[in-house]
Chains A and B, each alone.
Chain A
């Protein structure tokens, strides 16, 4: 029925290309807003240093953006290439936000990015500022639509299986748009992007400060980045993804796995700060618990219980049993579309059909499943607990360290004295953290959703294209080589541009006039 190697290679390819894409996306999201803010200061004060800052960070933004676009192309088409059954099965729902992303956001972003770079001499300062803001806002809207699509994979609201077309179809588009999981993810992800942009500006500025170069630009950038960074880091932490974790069985399972919470605890549950979870023994060794914290984060209450893994597995087992009649009804409808009784059964228990599909990993025909098959399938709903447990903690630790770095930076910049050198060094060494947090965060979100590609609806192992293994080997090798080479080139260019530093306008401020084409006064450009 399905080739496990094709499934694993398809997953590997998606993970590689998506994680690689997301090295560039958060910096684009964060820097676009920071650049727009800097240019706003320029237009309001007409101090050319702020325009120089806009242009300098714009150069780095551009180098990063090019790879974001290049790798985004792959994402748009990969669903069809590697996940053909997925595309058929949920395209009616999942395709719409992707298309609207193009219509509403990416088109605006890509059209105006050309003018951002080429329009300095052709536009008035105000018009150019409008272009920059539209580009930045479009970037953020882009993230919104992608996360509406991804949020639906985590919490598939507003859709229903249609036996006539053998796929999920939208029943309530508004519910898809205002999916609470998507909203939580959007705020969390975009804030993480702001943190990325802020750390980048903070770190590069700190490097200049340490070397006593471009101090005028670096000091101002440092201030902007630390203030923006504090706000963003707070927003990432406070508006974390947690709010969506109580919503669906899988989200509950993800939460239980993140906490390695094997059994349901009396409310409010404690938070396992550290420990070594073992999937084989179904317990966590050397655990240190902090009372109450988990219950409060997870349920925003002190009296609601958070279900543990064992309880959720029992629940999954029940849903598998309930799903088998739905699967049977569907098989009958494949033979005879007019079977009214089968339609009734499907309507009644169709919501559990996805759980019956989990059995296909263990038995060709879910209707023939043994007790052991059902137990195995129920336990297959538990994702890799130790992986999630540690990944989540790495992400959270990065978040708190970054909040500390931003906080210290802001505190020092608000005092009159020059910030100490150790702070600049700290800012420099903090630079990789938001990327680590973002990558690990996506791992938690996507690996934590397993075994589902669409939570409760379609298992991942059924969703691939019918491809030969060699096809996948060729494309994985090809993308790895291409992306690897481009990564080396990108980093080198980025470092070269940073070493070269900004071009500072020689013209004194008073020569600046707000008239159109004012840029022509600056031959230095």
Chain B
């Protein structure tokens, strides 16, 4: 078997695309995450107009590119995991609407706020940017919480997804807890970015908020681990034999709810414990950084924390993608909810070409924009700044 044969084997493709799904979600959390965190911190870390302009201009030139990780995540789930795309967005319908409505406020908020000097106008857009940052950060976590617990749905014989829950079912206490983990993580990350990229008082305040958020992230995430340990945050186990190159039909296997299932991967491969451990340790390191460490390193620690926290969820659930609480056998998994082999292969080729290019030009853009944003630099830039 040559390498290409191995790479384009259906099993390999499915696992690679599971990894790429993780890469996209993690890249979204690690890049647009700090944009959302800056939005969530905007009313608090920056008080006067010029302070807020400093905060906004730290992300002004880059947030748009960062947000594409979200759009690309949506497109890639559609292409590689169509069943997941169909079920999750129609199932989390009103939650998804809230996320979209909040995120719609961001592009216009960034662009339109500086168009008029009127303080009332600017104050309104500040709230829009706050909502655009805080609301998605919370709801994404709530969605993850529901995914861990299992979602009430079934599939008909023609694989039509039928969701049985409602918005209020989504907002259960355990899911809201996961929302808090997500929100504190995003605030930590936004604060780390502001501390690194802004100058003066905004940076100082960001460090104060960031320290608290980092501690909250480490504690809440560890608490989430305890909930999983106690069997409260779901757990689903595939009980039939996994056919890795079988057809993408979720009705052909059996799955049971098993409170211990989300720990099974870590028990089978103890090396994986490093990931959740770093999910606690990295925010603690960021906390130390906020108290007087180097700003660049603090940001990296925060980023590592975000990566490991998101990755922990994926590793815990593998090979399950979206478990069904009412019909566990219908759960979507890596081996029965993907696109066809041909589509996974075509998309892998496209990704192999374009993802390195994206990383290269994004890195170049960040390099061009290197340096702190200060009140002076914003004032000097005049109308070409936000």
Contact with B along A396-435 (1 / 0, CB 8 A): 0000000000000000000000000000000000000000
For B77, list chain A residues within 8 Å (CB).
80, 95
Q: Residue of B at shortest CB range from A94?
A: B78
Say which residue of A111, A465, A486 sits within 8 Å of B108 (CB atoms): A486
Nearest residue, chain B, Cβ from A103 = B354
In the complex, A121 Cα to B61 Cα: how many Å? 13
Binary per-residue interface labels of chain B (343-370) against chain A in the complex, 1 for a CB within 8 Å, 0 otherwise = 1001100110011001001100100110
Q: Which of B67, B90, B111, B158 meets A110, CB within 8 Å?
A: B67
Q: Provide the main secondary structure of the chain A interface.
A: helix
B115 contacts the other chain (Cβ, under 8 Å)? yes
Known: A95-B85, A474-B94. A66 touches B111 (CB 8 A): yes
Contact A471 B94 (CB under 8 A): yes
Tell whether, in the assembled complex, residue A76 and residue B71 are in contact, meaning their CB atoms are under 8 Å apart. yes
B6 an interface residue at 8 Å Cβ cutoff?
no
A349 to B78: give the CA distance in the assembly, Å.
28
Segment among A67-75, A222-230, A295-303 that sits at the interface with chain B: A67-75
Residues of B contacting A453 in the complex (Cβ-Cβ under 8 angstroms): none
**A482:B101 contact, CB within 8 angstroms:** yes
Indicate if the CB atoms of B343 and A165 lie closer than 8 Å.
no
Contact A80:B88 (CB < 8 A) given known A98-B78, A170-B346, A496-B115? yes
Name the A residues within 8 Å of B90 (CB-CB): 80-82, 84, 465-467
Q: Given the known inter-chain contacts A166-B249, A478-B97, please indicate yes or no for A99 contacting B76, CB distance below 8 A.
A: yes
> Do residues A489 and B247 form an inter-chain contact, with CB atoms below 8 A?
no
Q: How far is the CB of B364 from chain A (nearest CB, A)?
A: 9
Contact indicator B65/A96 (Cβ below 8 Å)? no
Given contacts A92-B339, A103-B351, A489-B112, contact A85 B161 (CB under 8 A): yes
A103-B72 CB under 8 A given contacts A471-B94, A482-B101: yes
Q: Which among A77, A100, A101, A104 has the highest number of chain B CB atoms within 10 Å?
A: A77
Q: Which one of B263-271, B317-325, B377-385 is at the interface? A: B377-385
Asked if A63 is an interface residue, CB under 8 A from chain B, the answer is: yes
A119 and B368: CB pair below 8 A?
yes
Q: How many residues of A contact B (CB 8 A)?
A: 77
**Contact across chains for B247 and A84 when beta carbons are under 8 A apart:** no
B126 → chain A closest CB, angstroms:
15
Produce 1/0 per residue, B35-71, CB < 8 A to A: 0000000000000000000000000111111011011
With a cutoff of 8 Å between Cβ atoms, the chain B residues found around residue A474 in the complex are: 94, 97
Q: Is B19 an interface residue (CB 8 A)?
A: no
| Cα–Cα, bound, A508→B97 (Å) | 52
List B93-124 residues whose CB lies under 8 Å from chain A.
93-94, 96-97, 100-101, 103-108, 110-112, 115-116
Q: Which chain A positions have C-beta within 8 A of B101?
A: 478-479, 482
- Chain B residues with Cβ below 8 Å from A339 are none
Residue on B nearest A465 in the bound complex, by CB: B90
CB-based contact B354/A91 at 8 Å: no
**In the complex where A95-B78, A162-B247, A164-B247 touch, is A88 in contact with B104 (Cβ < 8 A)?**
no
- Given contacts A102-B71, A118-B369, A96 and B354 within 8 Å (CB-CB): no
Compute how far the CA of A122 lies from the CA of B384 in the bound complex, rounded to whole angstroms.
12
Which B residues are CB-close (under 8 A) to A162? 247, 340
Choose among B65, B87, B96, B161 the residue that contacts A77 (Cβ–Cβ < 8 A). B96
Beta-carbon contact of A173 and B72 below 8 Å: no
Known: A80-B90, A465-B93, A466-B161. A170 touches B75 (CB 8 A): no
- State A62–B112 Cα separation when bound (angstroms): 9
B7 within 8 A of A: no
A466:B350 contact, CB within 8 angstroms: no
Chain A stretch 85-134: residues in CB contact (< 8 A) with chain B: 85, 87-88, 91-96, 98-104, 106-108, 110-115, 117-123
Contact with A along B239-253 (1 / 0, CB 8 A): 000000001110000
Q: How far is the CA of A79 from the CA of B76 in the complex (A)?
A: 13
The residue on A at minimum CB distance from B79 is A95
Residue from B68, B78, B351 within 8 A of A91 (CB atoms)? B78
| Chain B: minimal CB distance from A326 (Å) | 14
Q: Kindly identify which residue among A79, A81, A101, A171 contacts B93, using a CB–CB cutoff of 8 Å.
A: A81
Please judge, given known A-B contacts A96-B347, A165-B247, whether A67 and B108 are in contact too, CB under 8 Å.
Answer: yes
**Does chain B have a CB within 8 A of A503?**
yes
Give bound CA distance, A106 to B74, whole Å: 13
A213 interface hit (Cβ, 8 Å): no
Number of residues on chain B facing chain A (CB within 8 A)? 74
A111 to B227, CA, bound (A): 39
Q: How far is the CB of B221 from chain A (nearest CB, A)?
A: 27
B384 & A117 in contact (Cβ 8 Å cutoff): yes
Given contact pairs A62-B111, A66-B108, A171-B342, A111 touches B82 in the complex (Cβ within 8 A): no
Contacts of A103 in B (CB 8 A): 72, 75, 350-351, 354-355, 358
Contact residue among B60, B68, B83 (Cβ-Cβ distance under 8 Å from A111): B68
A123 B83 Cβ-Cβ under 8 A: no
Interchain CA distance A99-B78 in the complex, whole Å = 8
In the complex, whether A525 has a CB less than 8 A from a CB of chain B is yes
Tell whether, in the assembled complex, residue A102 and residue B161 are in contact, meaning their CB atoms are under 8 Å apart. no
Residue ID in chain A nearest B85 by CB atoms: A80
Q: Bound complex: CA of A493 vs CA of B113, how far in Å?
A: 11
A80-B86, A87-B78 known; A108 vs B350 contact (CB < 8 Å): no
Shortest Cβ distance from residue B146 to the other chain A in the assembled complex, whole angstroms = 16
- Please report the C-alpha to C-alpha distance between residue A493 and residue B340 in the assembled complex, in whole angstroms: 47
Please state if A93 and B163 are interface contacts (CB–CB under 8 Å): no
Of A82, A108, A493, which contacts B361 at CB under 8 A?
A108
Residue A475 interfacial (CB < 8 Å): yes
A267 interfacial contact with B, CB 8 Å: no
**Known contacts A76-B71, A80-B86, A81-B93, A88 near B160 by CB under 8 Å:** yes
| A497 within 8 A of partner (CB) | yes
Please determine whether B68 and A482 come into contact, CB atoms closer than 8 angstroms. no
- Given A73-B104, A111-B65, A162-B247, A122 and B96 touching (CB < 8 A)? no
Whether, in the assembled complex, B80 has its beta carbon less than 8 Å from a beta carbon of chain A, the answer is yes
Name the CB-closest residue of A to B125.
Answer: A489
**Given that A76-B71, A92-B340, A107-B358 are known contacts, is A84 also in contact with B89, CB under 8 Å in the complex?**
yes
Nearest CB on B from A449, distance (A)? 20
Give Cα A74 to B159, complex, Å: 25
Q: List 28 A-B contacts (CB under 8 A).
A: A63-B111, A63-B112, A69-B67, A69-B107, A70-B103, A70-B104, A80-B90, A88-B83, A88-B86, A91-B79, A91-B86, A95-B78, A98-B75, A99-B78, A102-B71, A102-B74, A103-B351, A103-B354, A107-B72, A111-B62, A114-B60, A117-B384, A169-B343, A173-B342, A466-B163, A471-B93, A489-B108, A503-B383
The list of the 4 closest CB pairs from A to B, nearest first, reads A91-B82, A80-B89, A114-B61, A95-B79
- Listed in ascending order, the chain A residues whose CB lies under 8 Å from chain B are 62-63, 65-67, 69-74, 76-77, 79-82, 84-85, 87-88, 91-96, 98-104, 106-108, 110-115, 117-123, 162, 164-167, 169-171, 173, 334, 465-467, 471, 474-475, 478-479, 482, 486, 489-490, 493, 496-497, 503, 525
Q: A66-B108, A92-B340, A165-B340 are in contact. List 6 more A-B contacts (CB 8 A).
A: A88-B82, A91-B339, A95-B343, A96-B339, A166-B159, A490-B108
Interface residues of B (CB under 8 A from A): 60-65, 67-68, 70-72, 74-80, 82-83, 85-90, 93-94, 96-97, 100-101, 103-108, 110-112, 115-116, 157-163, 247-249, 339-340, 342-343, 346-347, 350-351, 354-355, 358, 361-362, 365, 368-369, 381-385
